[in-house]
Amino acid sequence: MRLLSLLLTVSLTLALAYYIYIPLPDAIQQPWKLMMLNAYLRTAFHVASLKQWLGYDHHTRSLLQFTFGFEGILKEFLSSESSAGAVPGVKVSDITFAGIPVRVYEPPAGGEGHLRRGLMYFHGGGWAFGTTKKGSYDITNRMVSDELNTVVVSVEYRLYPDAHFPVPYLDCLAAAKHFLSPEVLAKYSIDPDRVAVAGDSAGGNLAAAVAQEISVDDSMSVKFSVQALIYPVLQALDFNTPSYLQNQYIPLLYRTNMIQFWLQYLNIDLSLMPEFFVNNHSALQHSSLTPELRSRLDWNVLLTQKYKKNYNPVIVEKGSEGFLKKVPSLLDVRAVPLLAGPEVLAKCPRAYILTCEHDVLRDDGLMYARRLQDAGVAVTSDHYEDGFHGCFSLTSWPLEFDVGKRALRSYLNWLQNNL
């Protein structure tokens, strides 16, 4: 009986270790902590998929019950109440800007005659998850507000499955225009020459797209002076860039997940996912994807050899006929900011772009930095050789990573010196 119990215990332990363990690059520090977090998220996905298959609920709503992202794990440790205690002087208000729910963080300093910085933040989560009202986003925005004497506005834009493109973008744009109005800036004592827009991952996509639109809108008397993009997702036409292939199985964002997020955002049938894996959706036969447009995301030109490595471009002659005509949003710069023309990029504010070596989105950020620089925009590229997707939000116990703390501090320092 003892032998049977021992064998059962050993078998279960080995099974658990097999489920948790994934090979990771040597550069990633604290690998087992990352594996444990990844196992939790994979389990959440599996349970949500099972619930949908059984007809209980949409898998995305089920994942929200796990408070998907990092807030679900951190909520017992990093609740809004505990973070409020960490920065007691910051005033927090949940209101609306142009009908869009936002959370406003006001620093203790300032007041009449003391103009402050302003920053609008768009959270990540694949346009499907996340909130800035809990966990790491809430803590980071409080830190920015307190340390940098900044009025921070985080936007609760609508999410999938209740909303598809362009709804999240339009929510963010409406909130941004309201924030930049002279009346609102004056109300919060914000210096109109020191207003930033920022976001991570899908939020970086929204921040880049909103910054482009505001930059070319002549009706706006006040525009963003800087933009900070944290591992932004910027294109959906090539899922065979070196970083997509190199990091396709590296947590916390797999290649499969990112393609699925794009299809959900653009309201494309998920059964078409195989077409995207092999770039059939951007085949040469699509006349609407002109050579000039292709050059705007040609990583063979825009990336240095360090990042191209030994990968070769995946270019398909004939793919899915009429695909881009059926899904025009794939060429819409509001969804795909990397496709913006040089005349638009030239008007964009100076930028901070953070990228991670072990992230499928690495090359999106690097290509955008290069294109902005080619257009004459000052860009600070902040690359982390030991970084992975999501590390920027992993800065507090029990899920603190050294690379996350370094990335957060670099972001704060850049805003301190450039905003």
Question: What positions carry a catalytic annotation?
Answer: 201, 359, 389
Strands 226-230 and 190-200: parallel
Check: CB of residue 250 under 8 Å from CB of residue 24: yes
Answer positive or negative: Cα dihedral of 195, 201, 202, 208. positive
Check: CB of residue 196 under 8 Å from CB of residue 226: yes
Distance, CA of 170 to CA of 65 (rounded, Å)? 26
List, in order, residues 6 or more apart from 235 with CB less than 8 Å away: 297, 336, 337, 338, 339, 364, 367
**DSSP string of 273-322, one letter each residue:** HHHHHTTGGG-TT-TTS-HHHHHTT-HHHHS-HHHHTT------SS-STT
**DSSP string of 23-46, one letter each residue:** ---TTSSSHHHHHHHHHHHHHHHH
Residue 37's identity, in one-letter code, is: L
